[in-house]
Amino acid sequence: MNRIVEISDPARPTRMLAERNQSDGSYVLLGKTARTLVSFLLLAILPYLVPGLGRYRILPASTMLGTSAKESARESASQAGKAELGSRAGQTEVEPTPGGVEDLSGQALEHFFRALHETETTEAQTRVCHYGDSPITNDGITSTVRRKLQLRFGDAGHGFVLAARPWAWYQHAGVYHEAASSWNSDPMFISKGDHLFGLGGASFTADSTSASASFGTAEDGEVGRLVSTFDIYFLAQPGGGDFEIDIDGVPQARVSTSSESVKSSFHEVRVPEGPHRMTLKPAGNGEVRVFGVALETSGRGVQYDSLGVNGAFIGLLAHYIDEQHWAEQLRHRRPDLVIIGYGANESQFERLPMDQYEKDTREVIRRIRSALPDVSILFVGPMDRGERGAGGKVLTRPMIKKLIAYQRRLAAESGCAFFDTFTAMGGEGTVAKWREARPRLMGGDFTHPTAQGAEIVGTLIYDAMMRAYEQYKERRQH
């Protein structure tokens, strides 16, 4: 790969000149190199003249004079998808609202906004559960929404954190969280175990005293600095062991997880409001199964749970988490708003069975409403997700727009609100632009935003929520 230097010889042009004794370049213009270049140019132009050779267009004219065959085929497929979607989605037509929350009923977020208004005007709290896939697991997007809501309405505590880390990149901003690696983690996925995954979609078991998990207030930052209650979510089960709790290094309690039947259980540890750290560890007398801990304060404000599961899709909440168990978890948590933000994983299947997708989405809505009849539900559509196309161009996955159209229609038909993240980000081609931006906004997998990109997406969601909330307040006044 490096030997070409040997062809280069500093004295060569001079020597050649001496041999040729030519002072003009006409011989070069008629020479072999020139003929090669002209032939190459003619070959490169040929695909523009012969329609059947369209896919071999490599000159810059491919972007100025037309598209390559790959791009044409892709466009056709996209149009066909739109046509199919139009015929299937014809029951309810919803006008997109770029950058805003779409709510055909006008009542979808009523419960949430009422709670938010009470929080703003009294000492009440508002709780949000944000379910999502891998972009949510590192709390990048959700921490932005949480921080902004808490700065405006008050910090009622960090909210729910998984007991340990099912994925190395699982992390939450604005909270202290450490867990030993000896916890056996079981995140929600197809046909795994007993389908009891807690509020956050993952359960953790341990029977050794070497397993511990610590939760506490953040040491820096604008939010998450106070706590007055650690609410532990665990599974009571026959033969369950005990776990010990200490607060700020002082032993506080020993809790048994033994029970005659398997059921969701909760244990609240109250502390004087302030910065604290709680450590939980199995006592060693049997298996302990813990889901997570919610950090709360007693004052007014917002709690915003980031509940991302790696590789998650809507079907998991519809079929692979036990309905009764999830309902128990949701009822205990009492969110005023449940956000459903899936789509990235579904988008990689170009032949996703949309009938099943629709059924699953409706089932998730039914399950949430069955557990919490008054709760508001907001669908947050998938972000732009890219893949490589012709010439290495980064293109939006065709399924993204299809999924958005389905989510928009299903939300409208079910009395839920919808936020089109894809359009708010900039629509088609955003992922390529975000990838090239400095600092980078999108990772090299064209799926996960960087910290800066997540901040933007979180801000878009927050801004859309707040615009809708201001409209709610205006309606209230009238």
Partner 1 sequence: MYFTTGTYFVFLMAVFFGYWALAGRPRWRLAFLAAASCFFYSLMGVRGLLLLVAVSLVDFTTTTLMAGAEAHRRRKLLFISLAVDIGTLCAFKYAGFFIETSAGALSILGVTLPFPAFEIVAPAGISFFIFQSTAYVIDVYRKDTEPAGSYLDYLAFLSFFPTIVAGPILRARQLLPHLRRAVALDASSGGAALFLIAIGLIKKIAIADYLSANLVDRVFDFPERFSSLEVLAAIYGYAVQIYADFSGYSDIAIGSAMLLGFTLPVNFNAPYRSRDLPEFWRRWHISLSTWLRDYLFFTIAGSRRRNWVSLYCGVIVTMLIGGLWHGASSTFVMWGLLHGVGLAGVRVLDGLRRRHGWARGSSPWSNALGVVITFHFVCFTWIFFRADTIDRAAAVIRRLFSLTSLTADLSNLTPPVALVMALGFVAHWFPDRLYDGAANGFIKLPSLAQACVLFALAVGLYFVASSDIAPFIYSRF
Binding site for partner 1 (CB under 8 A): 1-10, 12-14, 16-17, 20, 22-26, 28-29, 31-44, 56, 58-62, 167-169, 181, 388, 390-394, 432, 439-440, 443-445, 448, 450
User: Cβ closer to partner 1: 157 or 453?
Assistant: 453
Q: Minimum distance from CB of 73 to partner 1 (Å)?
A: 14
Closest CA to 337 of 162, 114, 141: 114
Q: Minimum distance from CB of 445 to partner 1 (Å)?
A: 5
User: Cβ closer to partner 1: 6 or 260?
Assistant: 6
User: Cβ closer to partner 1: 68 or 205?
Assistant: 68
In single-letter form, the type of residue at position 227 comes to V
User: Cβ closer to partner 1: 90 or 439?
Assistant: 439
Instruction: Judge contact between 422 and 430, C-beta under 8 A.
Output: yes
Q: Minimum distance from CB of 450 to partner 1 (Å)?
A: 6
Instruction: Judge contact between 458 and 304, C-beta under 8 A.
Output: no
Q: Minimum distance from CB of 136 to partner 1 (Å)?
A: 14
Q: Minimum distance from CB of 205 to partner 1 (Å)?
A: 18
User: Cβ closer to partner 1: 312 or 340?
Assistant: 312
Q: Minimum distance from CB of 393 to partner 1 (Å)?
A: 4
User: Cβ closer to partner 1: 202 or 278?
Assistant: 202
User: Cβ closer to partner 1: 25 or 427?
Assistant: 25
Q: Minimum distance from CB of 329 to partner 1 (Å)?
A: 27
Phi, psi of 108 (to 5 degrees): -60, -35
Q: Minimum distance from CB of 145 to partner 1 (Å)?
A: 21
User: Cβ closer to partner 1: 204 or 230?
Assistant: 204
Q: Minimum distance from CB of 18 to partner 1 (Å)?
A: 9
